[in-house]
Amino acid sequence: MPVDHLTESDVLKCLKWDQLIAKMESALGQLADRTAVQPVKLVTPVPGKDGVLLTMPAYSRTNNALGCKIVTSFSKNKEKNLPSVIGTVMLLDGDTGQVKAIMEGNTITAWRTAAASVASTIHLHEGKKGTLCILGAGVQAKSHAQAMQHAFNFSKVKIWNRTQSKAVKLCQELNLGNVMCVVCDSAREAAQDADVICTTTGADKPILESEWVKNGAHICAVGANRSHHSEISVPLHRRAAIVVDSMDTAKEEFADFIQQGIRPWGEVGDLINGRKSKPNAEVTIFYSLGMAIEDVLSAQLIYENYKKSS
Ligand SMILES: NC(=O)c1ccc[n+]([C@@H]2O[C@H](COP(=O)([O-])OP(=O)(O)OC[C@H]3O[C@@H](n4cnc5c(N)ncnc54)[C@H](O)[C@@H]3O)[C@@H](O)[C@H]2O)c1
Ligand SMILES: O=C(O)[C@@H]1CCCCN1
């Protein structure tokens, strides 16, 4: 069986936000109804390099989609002008296990994570989508701003980043037209009054405090610093209903918080599947731990679009 190799540009041509957001809703729903087969990701630390290798396999019974992402996260890569998260996705034949395609995975990771955050926002955030806050100005910050604007068309986007010049550059790149894009001097200024907040940094200490977040806000917590998630303060965790992509993964990757008595409310897929209704809380947090089934269903979608166009 010939193996197709899809470059970044091939992948980009085959991605459309509406299709991908619907696919991520399906992926999260399949996790919740346990039709997706997804072992918790295997974490291989790379000692002394501040790096980690993640192996992420999954199978969708619903879509007969089988695959695996291999992704690394090396926090010092920026010094070498390289992305900090580098991935490759392998799509396999669900009937035979043969390799169908190998795809550039950085773009898939950027897009599918943002699409999953949008899916969480559809199901967890009611009311007006006036102001979007993005904390961070890297790859995930950009894809989140793009996906959120595509889905909800916020009237104002506020961005804060540790290095302000990168936030300025991101505002320019987003090219939001009539929408106001404001670069903020502090995370506090960016978060105050925001309806939806996306935390997309590699911070190893909290960058978002409870007092800055208004009632009714929804937070998409995306940044994962190797083995732990630390962008959000403990009081904010305690105030919010924490909704995860996978409880099985949360037991491993959210363990530090669970030990402190902070328990996830449940999986966003149960809302998508209509098995539960929205939690009653001042603030909701979607904790995006990052799911292999998201990568595999994205890869299948991309491959179908690729085959149609070639
Ligand atoms: N949940 C998921 O599925 C998922 C998927 C991909 C990446 N991630 C995580 O999202 C985060 C961002 O990934 P990316 O690809 O956009 O990386 P990136 O390197 O492109 O961007 C990182 C951003 O974090 C900021 N930052 C780094 N350290 C910081 C600190 N100590 N305090 C404040 N800001 C800091 C940088 O200024 C930059 O804006 C990482 O933690 C990554 O592991 C999560
Ligand atoms: O789900 C993912 O793809 C990411 C990769 C980087 C670290 C966090 N999880």
Q: State the complex-level ipTM.
A: 0.99
What sign has the CA pseudo-torsion 32, 35, 39, 41?
A: negative
Tell me the pLDDT tens digit for each residue of 259-302.
999 999 999 999 999 999 999 999 999 999 999 999 999 999 99
Report CA(246)–ligand 1 centroid distance (Å).
Answer: 20
Contact 230, 262 (CB under 8 A): no
Q: What is the pLDDT of residue 73?
A: 95
Q: What is the pLDDT of residues 83-101, one digit of tens each?
A: 999 999 999 999 999 999 9
Q: How far is the CA of 136 from the centre of ligand 1 (A)?
A: 7
For 234, the 3-state DSSP assignment is helix
Could you tell me the distance, in angstroms and rounded to a whole number, from the CA of residue 5 to the centre of ligand 1?
27
Domain range annotation of the chain:
4-108+295-309, 117-292
Pairing of strands 99-104, 131-135: unpaired
Using the Cα atoms of residue 257, residue 261, residue 267 and residue 271 in order, give the sign of their dihedral: negative
Amino acid at 120: S
Residue of the CA atom closest to atom 9 of ligand 2: 290
Spatial CA neighbour of 55 closest among 300, 301, 293, 292: 292
Instruction: Please list, in sequence order, all residues whose beta carbon lies within 8 angstroms of the beta carbon of residue 307, skipping any fewer than 6 positions away.
Output: none
Q: Distance (Å, rounded) from C-alpha 241 to C-alpha 237?
A: 8
Mean pLDDT over 177-200 rounds to 97
Which ligand approaches the C-alpha of residue 161 most closely?
Answer: 1
**Residue 224 in this model has a pLDDT that exceeds 90:** no
pLDDT confidence bin for 208, thresholds 50/70/90 = very high
Q: How confident is the model at residue 114 (pLDDT cuts 50, 70, 90)?
A: very high
The response to whether residue 73 sits with its C-beta less than 6 Å from ligand 2 reads yes
Q: Is the CB of 196 under 6 A from ligand 2?
A: no
CATH number assigned to the domain covering 117-292: 3.40.50.720
Mean pLDDT of the chain: 96
In sequence order, what DSSP letters do the residues of 122-163 get, joined into one string? HHH--S---EEEEE--SHHHHHHHHHHHHHH--SEEEEE-SS
- With contact defined as beta carbons under 8 Å apart, do 198 and 133 qualify? yes
226 Cα–ligand 2 center, Å? 8
Within this chain, domains 4-108+295-309 and 117-292 share the same CATH topology: no
- In sequence order, the 6+-apart residues with CB closer than 8 A to the CB of 209 are 188, 233, 235, 236
Q: Which residue among 161, 162, 294 has the greatest number of ligand 1 atoms within 8 angstroms of its CB, and so is best to mutate? A: 162
185: Cα within 13 Å, side-chain hemisphere: 0
- As a whole number, mean pLDDT of residues 5-30 equals 98
Given a contact cutoff of 8 angstroms between Cβ atoms, the answer to whether 285 and 265 are in contact is no
Give the distance (Å) from ligand 1 centre to CA of residue 190.
Answer: 17
Q: Is the pLDDT of residue 226 over 70?
A: no
pTM (global) more than 0.95: yes
- The closest ligand to the CA of 72 turns out to be 2
Residues whose beta carbon lies within 6 Å of some atom of ligand 1:
73, 78, 84-85, 109, 113, 136-141, 161-163, 166, 200-204, 207, 222-225, 288-290
Centroid of ligand 1 to alpha carbon of 179 (angstroms)? 25
Distance 180 CA to ligand 2 centre (A): 30
Distance CA 246, CA 268 (A): 8
What is the fold of 4-108+295-309?
Answer: ornithine cyclodeaminase, domain 1 (3.30.1780)
Which residue pairs from 178-183 have beta carbons closer than 8 angstroms and sit at least 24 positions apart in sequence?
A: 179/149, 179/153, 179/154, 179/155, 180/155, 180/156, 181/156, 181/157, 182/156, 182/157, 182/158, 183/159
Please report, for residues 151, 194, 250, the alpha-carbon distance to residue 22 in angstroms, rounded to integers and kept in the order given: 11, 25, 23
**Nearest atom of ligand 1 to the alpha carbon of 201:** 24
Of 120, 142, 222, the residue with max ligand 1 atoms within 8 A of its CB, to mutate for a pocket test, comes to: 222
Q: Is 85 in the pocket of ligand 2 (CB under 6 A)?
A: yes
- Ligand 2 atom nearest 54 alpha carbon: 5
Q: List residues bridging with 69 in a β-sheet.
A: 56, 89
Query: What's the confidence (pLDDT) of residue 228?
Result: 65
